[in-house]
Amino acid sequence: MKFPIYLDNHSTTPMDPRVLESMLPYFTEKFGNAASRNHAFGWDAEEGVETARKQIAKLIHADAKEIVFTSGATESNNLALKGVVEMYHEKGDHIITSSTEHRAVLDTAKTLEAKRGVKVTYLPVDKFGMVNPEDVRNAITDKTILISVMFANNEIGTINPVKAIGKIAKEKGILFHCDATQGVGKVPIDVQDMGIDLMSFSAHKIYGPKGVGALYVRKKNPRVRIAAQMDGGGHERGMRSGTRPVPLIVGFGKACELCEQEMAADAARLSVMRDRLHATITKALEDVYLNGHPTERLPHNLNISFAYVEGESLLMGCKEIALSSGSACTSATLEPSYVLRALGVGAELAHSSIRFGLGRFTLDEEVDYAGKRIIETVTKLREMSPLYEMAKEGIDLKSVQWAAH
């Protein structure tokens, strides 16, 4: 086994060597500008870009013309929300989104509230982190121009009822944007069947390169228009100017092609591994709680709270394994995960959460090792925890008068 072990695949993924191989010629031999129309260098580059566009579109059941390249999902989310608000401001000024969205959506919505006077409804989620489509329906007003709900959550892996939300959006004639950064390439997504009008995703979450992403923009039924947020040469059908990063786009295309071919097998293998890890941990330790939905979740995601143990200390105790925690101590804000808080998870359990993100290159032995080390470390830290000691003495921790600081 090689150390450190990488189990943080929601954060980013290693690039698949096959993706790297597809990219290499576009750095040196086929280095042209895809917008150069009158020489072979440009044609070669354009061919690479257009092949990638087809590969990407195929994975999500879209048309190649509906793919707009961006620098990543953050830019795609910004472009979708800001672009729709600017284009459709005469129709209305209300957006519906959810409280567990990624910051790229939440902070964009907040900016639109502050700078453009847009009204935003932040829908609550249930205890599993799921948006209720009926809540979406009830939040719609005659001023609503956009619904933006994520496909799957980046912390807890809960998959939203996207198709039901898409149906409501269609019924009401409102545009539906979906941040599918965590879902694309991991589970089947069909923008036609799911009624998605705009969709953000990126390459580096699916074993492709960092620095490139896409926004799917529906062309028919309805034809979606967005105002460009970057002025320049009018690339990407005028929606996103800037010279296309050809090698990155080629790699993105290859990554999508591989996902299309291997997604089902990857998901099957990783969900078995993930379930075994979960079972091993719950068998060995008491007071561990699953965060997120028990079944409607990404196949490679596991998020657990270990009561009486603080998340950052747990990561420090297993530092040969790359993991992530919802603990405040791992964030710059000193607040524990807003996603877990939105689920109704108590702050003390939010501080105790660990996210495991498995990936295409995760080995059985790595997951087994991680399970063993987590169990050892939790046991050690509980011995050190005054909360565990009090709980063992039968003291109800909720009844204690804590001096909050």
Q: Is 338 in the site for other proteins (CB under 8 A)?
A: no
CB of 180 to other proteins, least distance (A): 31
Q: Is 188 in the site for other proteins (CB under 8 A)?
A: no
Show the tokens assigned to 169: 């959006």
Q: Which of 76, 160, 327, 337 binds other proteins (CB under 8 A)?
A: 327
The span of 33-41, 226-234, 313-321, 361-369 binding other proteins (CB under 8 A) equals 313-321
The span of 51-59, 149-157, 280-288, 379-387 binding other proteins (CB under 8 A) equals 379-387
- The type of residue at 117 is G
Q: Is 336 in the site for other proteins (CB under 8 A)?
A: yes
Q: What angle do CA 292, 203, 363 make, to 5 degrees?
A: 60
CB of 351 to other proteins, least distance (A): 4
**Cβ distance to other proteins smaller for residue 272 or 316:** 316
Helices 40-60 and 246-284 sit at what angle, rounded to 10 degrees?
Answer: 30
Catalytic residue among 178, 256, 318, 329: 329
| DSSP annotation string for 128-174 | TSPPPHHHHHHH--TTEEEEE--SB-TTT-BBP-HHHHHHHHHHHT-
**Cβ distance to other proteins smaller for residue 335 or 365:** 335
- Give yes or no for a contact between 151 and 105, defined as CB atoms under 8 angstroms apart: no
Show the tokens assigned to 262: 């291997």
Q: Which of 346, 368, 372, 375 binds other proteins (CB under 8 A)?
A: 346
Specify whether 329 is catalytic.
yes
- Give yes or no for a contact between 160 and 184, defined as CB atoms under 8 angstroms apart: no
**DSSP designation for 268:** H
Give the integer Cα–Cα distance in Å for 91 and 79. Answer: 18
CB of 254 to other proteins, least distance (A): 35
Q: Which of 383, 394, 396, 399 binds other proteins (CB under 8 A)?
A: 383
The span of 12-20, 249-257, 362-370, 383-391 binding other proteins (CB under 8 A) equals 383-391
Q: Which of 8, 63, 126, 312 binds other proteins (CB under 8 A)?
A: 312
Q: Is 351 in the site for other proteins (CB under 8 A)?
A: yes
Phi/psi of residue 322, nearest 5 degrees: -85, 110
| DSSP annotation string for 191-258 | TTTTT-SEEEEESGGGTS-TT-EEEEE--SSS------SS-SS-TGGGTS-S---HHHHHHHHHHHHH
**Cβ distance to other proteins smaller for residue 50 or 348:** 348
Site string for other proteins, 195-234 (x = CB under 8 A): ----------------------------------------
Closest CA to 16 of 253, 309, 282, 270: 253
Nearby residues of 404 by Cβ (< 8 Å), 6 or more positions away: none
> Which residues in this chain contact other proteins in the complex, by CB under 8 A?
308-310, 312-313, 316-317, 327-329, 332, 334, 336, 346-348, 351, 383-389, 397, 402-405
Enumerate the active-site residues: 329
